[in-house]
């Protein structure tokens, strides 16, 4: 994949090297946590330019399905993106790491994370815009406040090293973004979401790189302790049914609202990598409501309105 990243493109090269390394670190640790399944690797190329390295884990002791993918793609801006950025012509480069993990045990939360870098060029090949984006968020099926507080505290600690306003701002954006407006409920209990992080008087691109890599490096610390606490808990078919119903809401968000999914589909991305985020077993039950006073209802009540966890 070095053929489309020039040596002079420092930030592009630096971030691409970072996500390659981070993918290795995360996959190695998750295999260790699972104890059975290993990641299957798939190297792919995109006809219009670029490619990626998809890694998927399935049918493990802990992870029913998950993926930790990196990609670096480039080419002419598609019409839909030209309209979005209000430009008549131009090229783009985008690279990032995206992961989703769907555990088998309903008491272990699903998790999603993404860290990315984007450049846009004029016809002379000059950079006219560049930015970072990303975040990480937790989607429990049963609410353990200890887990929610831990996840958010790790996010806050990573943010506070760079700016005390980052955590409250990016938590709020996460609560707003990962929201199924057609259901009037959040997808999960949030985390961080940031986008269009550009050079400014206060933040250079190097500063943004330092921040995004800080968040990326914190992922395992945020998630693995939650998995370790819950992966051996006993569960019943009733718990699994609820998990699959809630997974349906996860699918709805990804296919209806998620910008990353829509970007991949509109730029002729690799469909297997894009839809890797979807869980293997899902239910849609007509007009389903949890029992009053149940643990299932407790979760739904929290998802109706964002909560402060730090």
Does the residue 166 lie in any domain?
yes
Q: What percent of the chain has pLDDT over 90?
A: 77
For residue 178, CA distances in Å to 64, 123, 184, 228, 235 come to: 23, 35, 11, 25, 27
Domain count, the chain: 1
Residues facing residue 53 across a β-bridge:
43, 70
Q: Each residue of 123-146: b (16+ CB within 10 Å) or e?
A: eeeeeebbbbbbbbbbbbbbbbee
Specify the DSSP class assigned to residue 257.
Answer: T
CA gap 225, 149 in Å, rounded: 12
Taking every pair of Cα atoms in the chain, the longest distance, rounded to a whole number of angstroms, is 63
Mean pLDDT for 79-99 is 81
pLDDT of residue 5: 44
Mean pLDDT for 84-101 is 85
CA gap 296, 301 in Å, rounded: 9
| Parent domain of 195 | 2-303
pLDDT in tens, 26-41: 999 999 999 999 999 9
Does the residue 293 lie in any domain?
yes
Does the residue 176 lie in any domain?
yes
Residues facing residue 191 across a β-bridge:
137
pLDDT in tens, 257-281: 888 787 778 777 778 878 878 898 9
pLDDT of residue 125: 84
Q: Check which CATH number belongs to the domain holding 33 and give it.
A: 3.40.1500.10
Mean pLDDT for 133-137 is 97
CA gap 140, 135 in Å, rounded: 17
With bands split at pLDDT 50, 70 and 90, how would you rate the model's confidence at 9? low
CA gap 180, 183 in Å, rounded: 5
Would residue 212 be called left, alpha or beta, if left means φ above 0 and alpha means ψ between -120 and 50 degrees?
alpha
More confident position, 101 or 278:
101
Does the residue 149 lie in any domain?
yes
Respond yes or no: is residue 112 known to be catalytic. yes
With bands split at pLDDT 50, 70 and 90, how would you rate the model's confidence at 3? very low
Q: Each residue of 25-49: b (16+ CB within 10 Å) or e?
A: ebbeebbebbeebebeebeeebeeb
The answer on pLDDT for 8 being more than 70 is: no
Mean pLDDT for 243-248 is 96
- Among 74, 102, 112, 239, the one annotated catalytic: 112
pLDDT of residue 81: 72
Does the residue 309 lie in any domain?
no
Q: What percent of the chain has pLDDT over 70?
A: 95
pLDDT of residue 148: 97
More confident position, 7 or 181:
181
pLDDT in tens, 171-230: 999 999 999 999 999 999 999 999 999 999 899 999 999 999 999 999 999 999 999 999
Q: What is the mean pLDDT of the chain?
A: 92
pLDDT of residue 134: 96
With bands split at pLDDT 50, 70 and 90, how would you rate the model's confidence at 48? confident
Does the residue 31 lie in any domain?
yes
pLDDT in tens, 109-124: 999 999 999 999 988 8
pLDDT of residue 258: 85
pLDDT in tens, 287-304: 999 999 999 999 999 999
First to last CA, the chain: 41
pLDDT of residue 250: 93
Does the residue 308 lie in any domain?
no
């Amino acid at each position: 994949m070095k053929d489309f990243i020039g040596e002079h493109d420092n930030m592009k090269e630096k971030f691409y090297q970072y996500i390659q390394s981070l993918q290795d670190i995360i996959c190695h640790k998750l295999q260790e946590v699972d104890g059975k399944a290993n990641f299957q690797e798939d190297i792919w190329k995109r006809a219009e330019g670029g490619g990626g390295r998809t890694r998927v884990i399935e049918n493990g002791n802990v992870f029913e399905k998950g993926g930790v993918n990196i990609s670096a793609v480039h080419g002419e801006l598609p019409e839909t993106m030209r309209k979005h950025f209000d430009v008549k012509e131009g090229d783009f480069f985008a690279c990032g790491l995206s992961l989703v993990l769907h555990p088998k045990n309903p008491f272990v939360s699903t998790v999603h994370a993404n860290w990315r870098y984007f450049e846009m060029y004029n016809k002379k090949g000059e950079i006219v815009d560049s930015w970072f984006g990303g975040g990480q968020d937790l989607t429990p099926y049963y609410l353990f406040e200890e887990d929610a507080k831990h996840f958010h505290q790790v996010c806050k600690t990573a943010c506070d090293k760079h700016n005390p306003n980052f955590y409250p701002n990016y938590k709020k954006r996460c609560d707003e973004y990962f929201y199924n407006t057609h259901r009037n409920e959040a997808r999960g209990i949030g985390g961080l979401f940031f986008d269009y992080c550009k050079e400014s008087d206060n933040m250079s691109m190097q500063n943004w790189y330092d921040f995004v890599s800080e968040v990326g490096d914190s992922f395992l610390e945020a998630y693995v302790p939650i998995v370790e606490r819950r992966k051996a808990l006993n569960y019943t078919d009733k718990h699994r049914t609820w998990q699959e119903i809630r997974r349906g809401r996860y699918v709805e968000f990804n296919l209806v609202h998620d910008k990353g999914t829509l970007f991949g589909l509109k730029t002729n991305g690799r469909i297997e990598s894009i839809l890797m985020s979807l869980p293997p077993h899902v239910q849609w039950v007509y007009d389903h409501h949890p029992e009053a006073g149940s643990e299932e209802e407790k979760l739904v009540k929290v998802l109706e309105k964002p909560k402060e966890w730090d």
